[in-house]
């Protein structure tokens, strides 16, 4: 002690103090820190403790990540309306699980659209600039002809979650084709409860089914 009553730290104390601060910053509690400091093999103990700590934090991060993802899904589902089509954690889990499959379906639709776009634009230009309308008719007839199987593919590979009863259902072909929709939702009549509402689109995994014809 100095005359003023202040404690003098040795270099050793100081480095110990620094270490304690560091370990606290890494999230270790004082008990664990004491254990390390009094251990004969502090390096080994610290290593084990950090592994444990890292595992716990990774678990927490994964949990938070899941919450963020769930928030995104709910936000997307209410984007255009003041209604909440997704209302249970089960719905969200279902949507998260099959997001990949749905992406594939949307990718197929998009590539079909992209493949046709240049021909459509080209035929419109020909019609407007040169007055040649036959290519336009051919391209659009083809687009419709080939579009039907694509829409059937879309219909077959998607299902919808009813906001009313929570059931996952496949809309009828007619309802599917003549319904208002956004990128994630569609206004459909639930085949289970009969209520019409904005339903969230999910991927319909057909591999598990015995090929129900629709
Ligand atoms: Zn329903």
How confident is the model at residue 213, as a pLDDT? 41
147 C-alpha vs ligand 1 centroid, how far in Å?
29
Overall number of domains in the chain: 2
Could you please report the per-residue DSSP string of 38-87? T-SSHHHHHHHHHHHHHHHHHHHHHHHHHHHHHHHHHHHHHSSSSS-S--
57 C-alpha vs ligand 1 centroid, how far in Å?
40
56 and 98 fall within a common domain: no
Q: And the tokens for 210? A: 């015995």
206 C-alpha vs ligand 1 centroid, how far in Å?
21
Q: Answer whether residue 185 shows pLDDT above 60.
A: yes
Contact 36, 24 (CB under 8 A): no
Strand partners, 161: 168, 200
Of 47, 78, 109, the last residue of a domain is 78
Does residue 4 lie in a domain region? no
Q: Which domain holds residue 68?
A: 11-78
Q: How far is CA 163 from the centre of its chain?
A: 19
148 C-alpha vs ligand 1 centroid, how far in Å?
27
Q: Answer whether residue 26 shows pLDDT above 60.
A: yes
152 C-alpha vs ligand 1 centroid, how far in Å?
23
150 C-alpha vs ligand 1 centroid, how far in Å?
27
Q: Which residues contact 82 (CB under 8 A, 6 or more apart)?
A: none
Q: What is the pTM of this model?
A: 0.60
24 C-alpha vs ligand 1 centroid, how far in Å?
53
Q: And the tokens for 45? A: 């103990």
In this structure, the number of other CB atoms found within 10 A of the CB of residue 87 comes to 15
pLDDT (tens digit per residue) in 115-162? 888 999 999 999 999 999 999 999 989 988 988 999 999 999 999 988
167 C-alpha vs ligand 1 centroid, how far in Å?
6
193 C-alpha vs ligand 1 centroid, how far in Å?
4
**SS3 label, residue 183:** coil
201 and 106 fall within a common domain: yes
Does residue 83 lie in a domain region? no
195 and 93 fall within a common domain: yes
Q: Which H/E stretch holds residue 189?
A: strand 185-189
62 and 122 fall within a common domain: no
Q: And the tokens for 109? A: 């639709």
């Amino acid at each position: 002690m100095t005359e003023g009553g202040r404690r003098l730290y040795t270099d050793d104390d100081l480095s110990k103090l620094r270490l304690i601060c560091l370990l606290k910053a890494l999230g270790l509690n004082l008990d664990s820190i004491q254990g390390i400091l009094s251990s004969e093999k502090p390096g080994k103990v610290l290593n084990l403790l950090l592994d444990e700590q890292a595992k716990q934090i990774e678990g927490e991060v994964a949990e938070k990540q899941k919450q963020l993802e769930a928030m995104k899904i709910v936000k997307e589902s209410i984007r255009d309306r003041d209604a909440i089509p997704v209302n249970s954690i089960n719905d969200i889990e279902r949507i998260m699980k099959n997001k990949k499959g749905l992406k594939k379906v949307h990718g197929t639709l998009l590539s079909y659209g992209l493949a046709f776009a240049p021909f459509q634009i080209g035929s419109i230009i020909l019609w407007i600039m040169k007055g040649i309308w036959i290519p336009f008719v051919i391209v659009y007839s083809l687009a419709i002809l080939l579009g039907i199987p694509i829409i059937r593919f879309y219909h077959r590979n998607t299902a919808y979650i009813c906001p009313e009863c929570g059931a996952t259902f496949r809309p009828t072909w007619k309802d599917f084709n003549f319904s208002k929709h956004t990128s994630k939702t569609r206004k459909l009549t639930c085949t289970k409860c009969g209520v019409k509402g904005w339903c969230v689109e999910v991927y319909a995994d057909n591999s598990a089914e015995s090929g129900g014809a629709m």
